[in-house]
Structure 1
Amino acid sequence: RIEKSKTRKILSSDDEALLLLSHTNNSLKPLNSQKYSTMAEISTLCLRTLVFFSWAVSICSCLQDSGSDSSNGSFFTVSSFRYPKSEVRPYDTRYIRVDLPPWFSSLNVVIESDVGITAESIPKISRSLLPVICFRDGSPPLPDASTNAQKGLELGRFFNGSFEGAEDIEIAEQCYPMQKNISLRLTNEQISPGAWYVGLFNGIGATRTQGKMIVRSSAFSFSANISVEGCKAATMWGPFCNQTIYPLSCSRFDNQTGSVISCSDSFPSSCLNGAETKTYALDVDGIAEQLVIMASNVKVDSNESYLMCYARFGAMASETLHDYAADIHKVPLVIKKPKAGRWYIFVSLSGRENRLVQGTHSNSKVCFSVNVKVLGCPVGKAGPNCGQQIYMLQAVMRRGSLTPFESYYLPVNDASPSGSSTAFPLEPIISNFSSIPELDTSTWTYFLMNIPQGGAGGHIHFRLTSDYTIQYEVYLRFGGLPTLEDRDYYYVNRTSASRSMFFSLYNSSQEKIDFYILYAREGTWSLGLRQLNNSTAPAASRGPPTLVSLSLERCPRRCSSYGQCRYAFDASGLTSYSFCSCDRTHGGFDCSIEIVSDQEHIVQSIALIASNAAALLPAYWALRQREYPEWVLFTSSGISSALYHACDVGTWCVLSYNVLQFMDFWLSFMAVIGTFVYLSTADEAVKRTIHTVVAILTALLALTKATRASNIIIVLAIGSLGLLIGFLVEFVTKYRSYCGSAGFSLNMLDRPRAVKEWFSNLIKTLNKRFRWDFVAAGLVAFTMAAISFKVETSSSYWIWHSIWHFTIYTSSFFFLCSKIAIVNNENQAHNGADNYELTRQDSVPRN
């Protein structure tokens, strides 16, 4: 106010008027200020209420999201595939490959099928007809590689639900009967990362690959949903991604004598109380000699404390699932020749047995630091003191090979042979014996070979030949160097070798070792040749060298020269696998099992070919009756069937197999329907029309799934329809004038008598048309043919199909004999009477 009064003195009169108005407005403000203040308080209160409500909603949403995250275990879907409904035909196979990344947590498989077998029906079903599902880690399963492989075929717990838990770890190498619904969940505690295969087989055994003349068993269809879940955080793993994985900090030191990788815990000291555990992860790159796990700076508060260490390759370790274990408080855990890849180290305060003694609520405490060392040799060296040789083999693709991944392996050094030889000498590159005999009584020479991705459907073929007694033992291992205790496959002599279903030994002797590793998994394989120190094998300069041949082949022994090697792809298209398609007398995965002997094959061939001679019976009758179309039809049908079966049994093929098969089925269909048409009394124009239509229909049947069982019903239906059409045409032609005459227009009282008389005349006509004893004989023969057709199986096909030939042609012969040629005689009688009337009329003299 003082400043305003001072200002008023220097203002003009106009300004004074404006200032007076301003004072007037200021005097009115106290009257409205209270009203404005109340409104502002109400607005502020509403705003605070809205903010609080929004904050509460956001908190609830965050809590809900947090609960959702904790419920799903912090995992995400790595991949998800749905395989649509597919059909597995009899004796066929389907493979499904699933790739599991290193960070996966679980694999979920849901398979639905139309298989309706039960536990009670399993013993009643032949193995060759039983739908089977198999699982295998690394490469496709092969349940019928040997008789021992089929002994593990049992129901398991598929009928009780899904596989969960550590007790079901053996599922990766088992087979089970197929079921309608299969739900399967496998965690990273049960299976390792990498490729995992599901195999579906519609029948197993030696006859699965045998060539079939005809297949009568049924197919089944299936659909599958497969999803892989992984952990979101790199430091969290386990089935539910709730186990912390502690990293190890590593440093590498190399010199001329070897390499050492030292790893230690990122935390200088870790402490465990009671039932607490700790898990570490370590990646071993390449070939290593030793993996040493030890504990340092150990501090215990009880003399009864045990610091147990469990190590496992490729999967989470635990007290129940582990590869190696030791009390690192007392002695380091030493793993010889560790596999290349990820190792998991699980440390607990005490072992399971010790905790049972001490109680689960032990108050013991241990502080420690984990130290890990990976010991390796220089490049090209291995073994104790790095004094043994190791060679990397290079794959050489075979020339002119039409199948993928076929190759042989040679060393990548100056000792590799030149030219086109697929073998290399062993003596120039063999390891020397140690200068300290007490250190080892044998020497090892190692070879490394790599199977490329997608080549797991091939087979490793190893062959060692010499002119003298072989003094070597062979050991193979995937992912690491083999030892006497730790190997996947081995061969010492003819009486001591692997008993695995995937190890196949052929014609080995003292001078030769020959075996296959079936469906070898993709990756690096190590082959070790062990030579005893007391061996007296001659040196290379004293005789021919020992030759080593190592190759990747698609079919073992080229299907033993009794079949053809074929290949296909799994459902994902990522892996090609090979299989043998054997001839009619052999089976097995390599066609080496003789199912039908030579004498049995001769008998079966004669029966199938000679039984077609029964076609001479209807052909002879048709020729005698001067029914030339039927004569040509039955003759050509018998000849084509004989030629087809001569080709089918492997005797002689005058034309291609497909042409002969078409001619056999087509003419057989025509012969059956032609018999029905012959029995009808329609005129020739109608018969020609029916034959033309039938020829088209039967040709379509012969071209599209000629061997299906429903074709016989279709052929009988077509034949019966042709016979019915022939009778209807005759009926309409013969009684058309009578139906329109006055005699047929009777009153209601006479019509029942007329119908009765018509049926009586129809029966008399049928009795005059057919010889019913031949009809009965034809029906009996046809029934026998239908029974033999129904009971045909792949194993008994030759005998029942031979009976089918004889009975079906015999039934046609009886049916042809049953027809009485009376229609023509009646027509001739009528024509004679008409001529007589005309003659009599003409004899009357004309005026």
Structure 2
Amino acid sequence: MAENSILGSFYLNLLLILVFTYLRTQCSSYEVESGGSYNSFTVSSFSYSKTQLKPFEWRYIRVDLPPWFSSMSVALESDVELNPDSIKDVPTSRLPMICLREGSPPLPDAYNSSLTGLVFNPLSNGSFGDIQGFQNAELCYPMQKNVSLKLTNEQISPGIWYWGLFNGIGPTRTQSKMINRGPAYSFRGNVSVEGCKSPLLYGQYCNQTVDPLSCVYTYNLTENRMDPTLYRQTAENVVSCINSNLNFCHGIREPKIYYLDVLGISEQLTIMASNVRFIESGSSNGAAENGTGIILMCYARHGTLPLANLHDVSANISEAPLVIRSPKVGRWYIGIHLVSMSTKIGGLNDLNGNVCYSLDLQVLQCPEEKAGLNCKWEKYLLQTVLRKNPSVPFESYYIPISSRVSSNLANFPLEPLLSNSSYEGTRNVTWTYFLLDIPDGAAGGNLHIRLNSDAKINYEIYSRYGGLPSFDSWDYFYANTKSSSNGSNFFKLYDSDDKMVSFYILYVRGGTWGFGLRQLNVNDSASKIQTTMSISLERCPRRCSSHGTCQSVLDASGLTLYSYCSCDRDHGGVDCSVEIVSHQGKMLKKNRVGHVWQSISLIASNAAAVLPAYWCLRQKAFAEWVLFMSSGISSGLYHACDVGTWCPLSFRVLQFMDFWLSFMAVVSTFVYLADISEASRRTIHTVVAIITALMAETGPTRSTNIALVIAIGALGLLIAWLIEFCTKFRSLSFSMELHLNIHDRWQAVKTWLRNLIKMLLKRFRWGFVLAGFTVLAMAAISWTLESSENYWVWHSLWHVSIYTSSFLFLCSKAITLDGETQQPLDGNYALTRQDSFSRPGIER
């Protein structure tokens, strides 16, 4: 027994050791895969509480990714229920979407062509295989019930990224709506950013080493071994960053990654490898001489790690240098890959050793006011001038810092700033460059560029983010009225002809922008032409085309102020230039009902208020008569203002008056059905007026208001009946000599209930009550079926049905007659006469 016990204990301990070893191995493996607890840390984490998006509402979420970030994790939960098989059949105006854009907020409905970025496949990590350069475009996906993403620094670059959540897009997204009903959805989630603890670590798990490449700026180009003839004519004016004889060695199967920071506007970045050789393991001599038979590929990518299948530029630097024209400002990552070797040495799979080489770098920069490969073109830095306009804050314009122009106005003359066309080989084409900086917090603004001339404009305009544009490298351009970036995302062209050019870059990305003016067919007569140029940062494009107001709000993170146009009832689009409702009798898309008929229907349907007002006036219920007349008039004025016919007061005041008086009219109908004193009636009206005023001020268009108003009216009627019964039953012959006999008490209660039922049957005309509830149900159905598209139909029926139901309920109240005099029973008179009979010492 003792021996079995010892063996059992031994096997149990052995089993525990094996389990512990297995778990430790798994934890260590997970730690390596997840970056470990030593290489990465949480840079930021934001939690967003539950937020509801009604139809055509949207939210932006800004995420800042530092240069050392490793991954961005997004986890969102929503109550969206979309069938993947029928998503394509859902109109975009009702489709919940999530979009991603680099540098500035996404704007998926700037153009119809923007919908080409809409991907109907489910959203996953693999959806973002290559999203570089998305400052000019965006990716949009249908919103899902659960979104869980982890984007690494191999997929996206450091900087500022924006997530946009939309509940429907299209021109009507910015159109003002009297109601905003339809399918809504809510979301909540968390966005966190992980970073590497060392700037020399990179990769998803911070397990890749990146070596920095330093660069020393000098004016001496005599040691330029890459191209001794380059810049020979202007060597004394060119600033060069040269770093030669950087010797590196690494395994033949291990690509080496470097990074280089380009700190300013540069003309060219050149990378060249020399003295390429292979050193076999265990040997001190190179097996290959001067790179013979070795193909050393160099992949360069701006902002993030280059891959063999994902990079900006590439070249075999063992044979020719890699030349990057006008490299963007910022960090460039350079990957060196050994692709193949000479068959004399052997295949890569058969060898063990290192590839060694000397890496030569050259960054060429022109002096501060010059640009171009020969540094002959003029370059100007634009100074920011803030506009002092309290109604539209955070607007500015840009003027050149130059002694050639002295004007501080937003429109500066262009001809004194143009490049000289007398250089050899540049007679027909010249370039003039302008540089400006957009603050990161102003990414929700719009950059406006204008040219005005007294003759035909002979310039082409090219723009580029992070560097100088060229004929082959640009983000947006305008050549003439037939050739431009018009129709692409975030480029909006206006009022352009031979003598004027005007376009916007929508939601311009924060950072350095370069603009190049390409002048064609330069001749002596060009100096006689007067051309002015203006570049300004505006909150809303084209001041919302005079069809709306510019609204500025913060994104969900509170870090970026973005602006949008809130258009009137007739227009929509990002700039309110899209006519949704035509006064000539047409509406957008399928609905062809005339705008005039809509206006007549919404305004004239309030004439139904005459029915209850007339009845109240006939019954001398003057307070109710004033309420119904005021309600009908204010509703008509409100709808007249809403459709753009006439606004005697501000829209907000008319909206408040319409809803408040409508609420009061409904409640007063209920209170009118009870016979109570004027003092009690005034008290109830005062309390109800306060409650309904708060409802009309805080949320007049809430769909729950109709239920609340009916509940308040029913409560008011119940209180009025209680007051009435307590007042009248106080004088009834209710036996005060009830004995303790239960049978007698039960008989008295049955008699009281029978009299109460008889009184209720005589109090109302039940045919009118039934008709009133039927019409009230029609009003409720009309209210429920209202949407932005059919609002004018159902709301007009709502006007007619709600006033008609009030009229029927008022008619349902029977006139109570005194049994002796056959006169209408006046409660106050009866109470007074009753009190006089009960006073002692007074003879009848």
TM-score (norm 1): 0.82
Instruction: Name the residue aligned to 2:621.
Output: 627
Check conservation: 1:163, 1:185, Cα contact below 8 A.
no
AA in 1 matched with 2:441: G
Q: Superposed, which structure 2 residues align to 1:367-766 within 5 Å? A: 367-400=356-389, 402-418=391-407, 421-433=409-421, 435-437=423-425, 442-498=429-485, 499-532=487-520, 534=521, 538-541=525-528, 544-599=529-584, 600-682=594-676, 684=678, 686-728=680-722, 737=732, 740=735, 755=750, 765-766=759-760
- Matched residues in 1 for 2:823 and 2:358: separation? 121
SS in 2 for 1:529: strand
User: For the residues of structure 2 that align with 1:113 and 1:317, how far apart are their CA atoms?
Assistant: 35
SS of match in other structure, 1:486 = coil
Counterpart among 773, 776, 788 of residue 770 in structure 2: 776
1:14-413 alignment, distance < 5 Å: 71-72=36-37, 74-120=39-85, 122-123=87-88, 125-158=90-123, 161-162=124-125, 166=129, 173-217=138-182, 220-254=185-219, 256-264=236-244, 266=246, 268-273=247-252, 275-299=253-277, 305-350=294-339, 366-400=355-389, 402-413=391-402
Q: Does the CA-based 8 Å contact 1:305-1:366 persist in structure 2?
A: no
Contact 2:340–2:348 (CA under 8 A) maintained in structure 1: no
Q: Tell me how far 1:465 sits from its aligned partner.
A: 1.9
Query: Distance in 1 between the 2:734 and 2:80 partners?
Result: 58
Match of 1:842 in 2: none
Distance 1:461 1:537, change over 3 A: farther
Q: Percent identity?
A: 54
1:799 pairs, out of 793, 806, 809, with 793
Residue type of the alignment partner of 1:586:
H
* 8 Å CA contact 1:192, 1:314 repeated in 2: yes
CA shift in 2, pair 1:103/1:265, >3 Å: farther
Q: Deviation digits for residues 751-774 of structure 1, max 9, x if unmatched? A: 79995x887776665554433443
AA in 1 matched with 2:459: Y
1:374 counterpart SS class: strand
Q: How many residues align?
A: 760
For 1:260, give the aligned amino acid.
Answer: S
CA deviations over 1:706-733 (Å, ceiling 9, x no partner): 2211111111122223334444555566
Q: What is the letter of the counterpart of residue 653 of structure 2?
A: V
Map of 1:844 onto structure 2 = none
Tell me if structure 2 keeps the 8 A contact 1:393–1:409: yes
User: How big is each residue's C-alpha offset from its partner over 1:768-821, in whole Å with a ceiling of 9 and x where there is no partner?
Assistant: 443344333323322221111111122322232222111111121222223321
SS in 1 for 2:477: strand
List alignment gaps of at least 5 residues for structure 2.
1-23, 220-234, 279-286, 585-593, 831-844
Residue 822 and residue 123 in structure 1: after superposition, are their counterparts in 2 closer, same or farther (change >3 A)?
farther
Write the distance in 1 (CA, Å) between the matches of 2:118 and 2:427.
Answer: 43
Q: Secondary structure at the match of 1:409?
A: strand
1:330-385 residue CA offsets vs partner (Å, 9 max, x unmatched) = 22111111111111110111189x9xx97866668643222111122222222232
Q: Rate the CA distance shift 1:413–1:726 in 2: closer, same or farther, 3 A.
A: closer
Structure 1 99/206 Cα, relative in aligned 2: closer, same or farther at 3 Å? same
Is the alpha carbon distance of 1:672 and 1:113 closer, same or farther for their aligned partners in structure 2, counting shifts above 3 Å?
same
Once residues 43 and 350 of structure 2 are traced to their aligned partners in structure 1, the CA distance between those partners, rounded to angstroms, is 39
Superposition RMSD on alpha carbons, in Å? 3.6
More divergent stretch after superposition (391-400 vs 500-509): 391-400
Given that 1:272 and 1:348 are in contact with CA atoms closer than 8 Å, whether structure 2 keeps it comes out as no
Question: What does residue 19 of structure 1 align with?
Answer: none
Q: Structure 1's 371 and 318: CA in aligned 2 closer, same or farther, altered over 3 A? A: same
Which one-letter code corresponds to 1:347 in the other structure? I
Residue aligned with 2:63, SS: strand
Q: Give the distance between the partners of 1:351 and 1:706, measured in 2 at CA.
A: 73
Q: Is the 8 A contact 2:428 2:522 kept in 1?
A: no
Q: Which residue identity does 1:187 align to in structure 2?
A: T
Corresponding residue for residue 12 of structure 2: none
| Partner Cα separation in structure 2 for residue 232 and residue 829 of structure 1 | 94
C-alpha contact 1:738 1:744 (8 A) present in aligned 2: no
Gaps of at least 5 residues in structure 1 are: 1-60, 835-847
User: In the aligned structure 2, how far is the partner of 1:510 from the partner of 1:188?
Assistant: 46
Counterparts of 1:686 and 1:827 in 2: how far apart (Å)? 26
Aligned 8 A contact 1:271 1:368 in 2: no
CA deviations on 1:182-205 (whole Å, 9 max, x unpaired) are 222111111112212122333322
Secondary structure, aligned partner of 1:508: coil
Q: Identify the residue that residue 17 of structure 2 maps to in structure 1.
A: none
Structure 1 residues 758, 445: closer, same or farther in 2, change over 3 A? same
In the alignment, the residues of structure 2 paired with residue 689 and residue 399 of structure 1 have an alpha-carbon distance, to the nearest angstrom, of: 52
State the secondary structure of the residue aligned to 1:674.
helix
**1:579-633 C-alpha deviation (Å, 9 max, x unpaired):** 1111111111111111111244433333222221111111112222222222222
What is the SS of the residue equivalent to 2:155?
A: coil
Counterparts of 1:726 and 1:795 in 2: how far apart (Å)?
41
Partners of 2:378 and 2:686 in 1: CA distance: 79
Contact 1:207-1:587 at 8 Å conserved across structures: yes
1:797/1:825 CA distance change after superposition, 3 Å: farther
Instruction: In structure 1, give the amino acid aligned to 2:384.
Output: A
Tell me whether 1:821 sits opposite 2:808 in the alignment: no
Q: 1:116-140 CA distances to partner (integer Å, 9 max, x unpaired)?
A: 4453564565433443322111111
Give the AA of the match of 1:675: T
DSSP 3-state at the match of 1:577: strand
Pair 1:715–1:361, CA change in 2 (3 A): farther
Structure whose CA Rg is larger? 1
Moved more, 83-92 or 774-783: 83-92
